[in-house]
Each structure stands twice: as structure tokens, then as C-alpha cells.
Amino acid sequence: MHKFNTIGIVGRREANAEVADTLKQLVSYLKGRKLAVVLESNAAKALPKHGLPVHTHDELGSGCDLAIVVGGDGSMLTAARALAKNRVPVVGVNRGGLGFLTDISPDELEFQLDEVFAGKYTVEERFLLHTKVRPNEQSQQQNGYGQALNDIVLSSGKSARMIEFELYIDDQFVYSQRSNGIIVST
């Protein structure tokens, strides 16, 4: 298994006291293991006077070999999209709601991470959906690009309004449709 040396910590965008406490515990734990720690900018905001290097989401992937997300599934999805290009593994500590993706409980944080650092983990490979939205000639909108880990929702933004669209996969036409939207899910 891979030996992790530099750990990136990602925090929930709107960090509350629970998130901040978990971030403090995590930094202390990692420093105690003599690991290098870098913070993503949201985590840094929640930890004043931390004295650690700070990176944006986009920079974090080139500066760490494991990322730990403290937040909810939304935080995990955002971090995973940003870190995917560098193939950085991501572990989630649940400080959100459901925790489907952020499945480590804060109470189990140190035990679970001890297991990870001992090589007792399984990598779950996921794939990203890449999107390109090209508005028609009458639209004032510009092309939109994105990527998603779970699903993509294309809609007009207004529930009663219809949109007309063509669906392409790998630049191959699949079909055209007129509806109020479409959900593409992994």
C-alpha cells in the first residue's frame, strides 16, 4: 500500500464550531504522527494562527498525497472533483448531514486514520462525468463546462419552463428532447 507523507486537509465552506474542533483535532493528530500538513483555504479560515501552508482547492492536489475532508458529502464532492486530476485519494470525516461519502465519524477519527496509515484500507475508484453545455444560437448564454462525481442536472431553472436539448456522449449524438430537464447519474 501507498505510504502517505503530506496530508491535505479540506474544510467545509461554512465551518461551524464542530468542524473547527474536528480540524484542530485532526491537525494535532497528524503532527503527532510527524506528517506534513497543508490546509485548503476553507480549513485555514477555521483555524486562525495555524502556521501551516495554505492552498486553494485547485492547488491542493499537487501539494499532497492524501486529502482528508472534514464536512459533509457536498464538501467531499467538491474536493474530489478538484483533486481528481492529480489522482489524490480522499477520505471523509462526517461533519455534515447524511455522510454517505464522508463515512468516518469524528469519534472514530484517530482509530480509522491509524488503520489507513497502517495500509488497512480499500481504494474505491470513481469516475467523473464531464459536461459541456452549448446554448443554441438564440441564447445569450455562453458555453458551460463542468464535471460531476454523482450526478448532473440540466434544467431551465424554472420548474414550469420547457427546454430543448441534444445529448451527446463522447461527441456522438444520442438523442434530442424537449422537457423541463434531465438528470444524468453515475
Which residues are part of the catalytic machinery?
73
Structural contact between residues 128 and 109, judged by C-beta atoms closer than 8 angstroms: no
Check: CB of residue 58 under 8 Å from CB of residue 86.
Answer: no
Residue from 45, 80, 83 nearest 64 by CA = 83
d(CA 107, CA 68): 15
In the three-class reduction of DSSP (H, G, I as helix; E, B as strand; rest coil), residue 2 is classed as coil
> Which residues are CB-contacts of 136 (< 8 A; sequence separation ≥ 6)?
164
Is the distance from CB of 32 to CB of 7 less than 8 angstroms?
Answer: no
**Cβ pair 123, 80 in contact under 8 A:** no
